[in-house]
């Protein structure tokens, strides 16, 4: 079976992020995080599209989420 998602692009980080080991907060770019942090996106305010189903990231990204710098600060 092929991949559904190759990657997401997210600007900014949500307030509730945990590593795969369960540690709270950001621990660097070399660490993978629980995919549930993507459940915080898109914002619940006036969006043109309905939010994705709950726990969708956990289903399609079971190995976790990694962050990569674009090189711009």
Q: Does some domain include residue 4?
A: no
Across the chain, the runs of DSSP E, i.e. the strands, are 32-33, 65-66
Q: Does some domain include residue 59?
A: yes
Q: Does some domain include residue 3?
A: no
Q: What is the predicted pLDDT for the residue at 7? A: 59
Counting the structural domains of the chain, the total is 1
Beta bridge partners of 65: 33
Burial degree of 56 (CB within 10 A; 0-12, 13-18, 19+): middle
Q: Does some domain include residue 2?
A: no
Q: Does some domain include residue 29?
A: yes
List the chain pLDDT tens, one digit each, 73 residues. 566 655 556 666 767 888 999 899 888 888 988 887 777 665 556 667 676 677 777 777 778 888 877 766 5
Question: Residue 45 belongs to what domain range?
Answer: 12-73
Q: Does some domain include residue 41?
A: yes
Distance separating alpha carbons of residues 38 and 2, to the nearest angstrom: 21
């Amino acid at each position: 079976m092929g991949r559904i998602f190759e990657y997401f692009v997210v600007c900014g980080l949500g307030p509730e992020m945990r590593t795969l080991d369960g540690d709270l907060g950001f621990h660097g770019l070399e660490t993978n995080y629980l995919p549930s942090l993507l459940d915080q996106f898109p914002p619940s305010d006036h969006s043109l599209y309905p939010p994705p189903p709950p726990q969708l990231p956990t289903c399609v990204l079971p190995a976790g989420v990694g962050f990569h710098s674009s090189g711009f600060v």
